[in-house]
Amino acid sequence: MMLTALLVFGKESLEEKEASVKALAAVSQGVLDNVADIKNLVDLDFNRVIYLGADGFFGLAHEAQLKILELTAGQVATMYESPVGFRHGPKSLINEETVVLIFGSTKPYTKLYDLDLVREVAGDQIARKVVYFTDKAEALEN
């Protein structure tokens, strides 16, 4: 319904709308192509979820955190933060039952910071799982 409303009432040209629909289809196909990975993540035994995102992804991190809190009726502790804000203090919330999800920035400088934080949190070997969402494959080896 949302897509229909955007297509019918949006002020973009037909070509722009077509490009948006194709991009949405590609993203959707990416989700379908990764169902096994998503299932493995959902099946993890965890009781804390931390979402991190900078810039536009900060709002996404906030919304994702609220959704998990709502869907688990508070049984899973959640938080959201920017990668910069997380590193100094809130990082101590990570334990062996924590899943950390980082929405990676597309801005080159911010992405460097995101990747450094991913390496740091994964390198600590405390979190149950660290997931880095990005628009392309990244080499995360130290």
- Residue 57's CB is within 10 A of a number of other CB atoms, namely 23
CA–CA gap between residue 42 and residue 99 (Å, rounded): 10
pLDDT score of 135 more than 80: no
* Mean pLDDT score across all residues of the chain: 90
More confident residue, 43 or 141: 43
Domain-located, residue 52: yes
Does residue 93 contact residue 50 with C-beta atoms inside 8 Å?
A: yes
Percent of the chain past pLDDT 70, that is, above it, reads 96
Domain-located, residue 128: yes
Residue 74 is encoded by which pair of tokens? Answer: 């508070």
Angle at 50 between CA 57 and CA 23, to 5 degrees: 35
pLDDT of residue 61: 96
Task: Mark whether 93 and 31 lie in a shared domain.
Answer: no
Predicted model pTM: 0.80
pLDDT score of 24 more than 50: yes
Task: Mark whether 94 and 24 lie in a shared domain.
Answer: no
Domain of 103: which CATH number?
Answer: 3.40.50.10490
Q: How many domains does the chain have?
A: 2
Task: Mark whether 39 and 58 lie in a shared domain.
Answer: no
Task: Mark whether 74 and 50 lie in a shared domain.
Answer: yes
pLDDT of residue 102: 96
Domain-located, residue 142: no
More confident residue, 34 or 129: 129
Residue-number span of the structural domain to which 90 is assigned: 46-133
CA dihedral 31→32→35→36, nearest 10 degrees, is -120
Going by pLDDT thresholds of 50, 70 and 90, the confidence category of residue 142 is very low
pLDDT score of 141 more than 70: no
Going by pLDDT thresholds of 50, 70 and 90, the confidence category of residue 138 is low
More confident residue, 27 or 100: 100
